[in-house]
């Protein structure tokens, strides 16, 4: 400890503030005072208001009004006490009373703001030392003289409740930031990921003869074509529907073919909970006395089931979860009968695009 500090300590031991005395605070130019500019010694022998500080919450300023007063402060004048801080964040502060005025100076310790290890911010006064760290750092070292970066990503891993990021967490000195996979943008909360609709914002590369289908994290360019069979011919009546041309009289093979084929594309996330309703098929009108619903085919039939959900409605269900990325198809058939005689078949082809992510 320097002679100047020793002399200052002896001065502070003799310094007594009486009830009603005031101290006034002023920061060095370029620093912002946080807290009251004036504090008063109260009847309870404590100072009014909160402890002031310059620019950040580093260090502790102690002003005790009692019969033996210790005053801890730092100011713009003579270098009488030793204060250290990272990146000069603890500014000079002055205090004065109605009877006595005293001032101390700050002595910053430079450090790299991007380093994961920094010196702590310590105040040395009256034989005691108080050390703190910047936000995002924790005290370490034998003498509490080192601040080590807190790895928030390690403390809150993806698999744990309350995780910091829904996808990827990147630790930075004193903080962290979240990263989303391609096809997603970071949400306003800075932690979630929002799917980018490439079809809506026209950032896809699908040609004019193909349909853009937005998926979670991307898009698909699909082509809707009517089937070509030897039993029946079809014509495209809308972008997502094909109708069978009239059959020749007595052509049973043609009449057994579906009257219409509809195409639908669904985007879902990976490992979606099951059972879950995916799609409903309804008859606009019923000519016969019976409607039947069932699965006709498609890739991934083990994941799907069809149930009757109304007099004229059938429901396609996902019965087992799917780990993406994957593309599955289900063909839902609705048959109309009269006295067990087939009047018509209507086929709905549902294609499921499963994202590789659970969001």
Boundaries of every domain in the chain: 21-56, 116-194, 219-354
pLDDT of residue 69: 35
Report how far residue 288's alpha carbon sits from residue 344's, in angstroms, rounded to the nearest whole number. 9
Residues pairing with 328 in the sheet: 352
DSSP 110-145: ---TT-SEEE-EEEEETTEEEEE--TTEEEESTTS-
pLDDT of residue 46: 75
DSSP 43-104: TTSSBSSPPPEESSS-S---B--SSS--B----SS---S-B--BTT-S--EEEE-SS-EEE-
Report how far residue 159's alpha carbon sits from residue 166's, in angstroms, rounded to the nearest whole number. 10
Q: Is 310's pLDDT higher than 70?
A: yes
- pLDDT tens-place string over residues 167-192: 999 999 999 999 999 999 999 999 99
Sign of CA dihedral 335, 341, 344, 345: positive
Q: What is the CATH number of domain 116-194?
A: 2.10.25.10
pLDDT of residue 284: 81
What is residue 349's three-state secondary structure?
Answer: strand
What is residue 247's three-state secondary structure?
Answer: coil
Q: Is 4's pLDDT higher than 60?
A: no
Q: Is 44's pLDDT higher than 70?
A: yes
Q: Which residue has the higher pLDDT, 38 or 243?
A: 243
Which architecture, in CATH terms, is 219-354?
Sandwich (2.60)
pTM: 0.62
Mean pLDDT rounded to a whole number for the chain: 77
Distance of CA 268 to the CA centre of its chain: 20
Backbone φ, ψ for residue 7 (5° rounding) = -65, -40
């Amino acid at each position: 400890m320097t002679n100047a500090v020793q002399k200052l300590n002896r001065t502070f031991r003799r310094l007594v503030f009486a009830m009603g005395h005031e101290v006034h605070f002023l920061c060095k130019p370029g620093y912002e005072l946080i807290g009251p500019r004036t504090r008063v010694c109260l009847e309870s022998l404590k100072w009014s208001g909160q402890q002031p500080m310059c620019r950040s919450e580093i260090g502790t300023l102690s002003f005790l009004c009692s019969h033996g007063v210790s005053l801890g402060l730092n100011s713009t004048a003579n270098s009488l006490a030793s204060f250290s801080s990272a990146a000069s964040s603890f500014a000079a502060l002055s205090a004065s009373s109605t009877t006595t005025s005293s001032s101390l100076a700050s002595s910053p310790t430079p450090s790299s703001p991007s380093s994961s290890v920094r010196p702590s911010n310590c105040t040395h006064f009256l034989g005691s030392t108080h050390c703190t760290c910047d936000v995002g750092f924790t005290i370490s070292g034998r003498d509490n003289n080192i601040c080590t970066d807190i790895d928030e990503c390690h403390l809150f891993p993806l698999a744990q409740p309350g995780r910091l990021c829904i996808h990827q967490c990147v630790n930075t000195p004193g903080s962290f930031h979240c990263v989303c996979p391609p096809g997603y943008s970071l949400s306003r909360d800075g932690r979630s990921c929002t799917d980018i609709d490439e079809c809506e914002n026209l950032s896809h590369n699908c040609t004019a003869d193909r349909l853009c289908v937005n998926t979670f994290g991307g898009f698909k360019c699909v082509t809707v074509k009517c089937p070509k069979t030897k039993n029946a011919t079809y014509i495209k009546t809308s972008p997502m529907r094909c109708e069978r041309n009239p059959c020749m009289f007595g052509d049973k093979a043609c009449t057994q073919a579906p009257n219409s084929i509809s195409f639908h594309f669904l985007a879902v996330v990976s490992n979606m909970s099951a059972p879950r309703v995916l799609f409903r098929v309804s008859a606009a009108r019923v000519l016969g006395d019976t409607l039947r619903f069932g699965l006709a085919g498609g890739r991934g039939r083990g994941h799907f089931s069809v149930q009757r959900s109304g007099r004229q409605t059938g429901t396609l269900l996902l019965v087992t979860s799917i780990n993406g990325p994957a593309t599955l198809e289900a063909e839902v058939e609705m048959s109309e009968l009269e006295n067990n005689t087939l009047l018509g078949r209507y086929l709905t082809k549902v294609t499921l695009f499963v994202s590789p992510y659970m969001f």
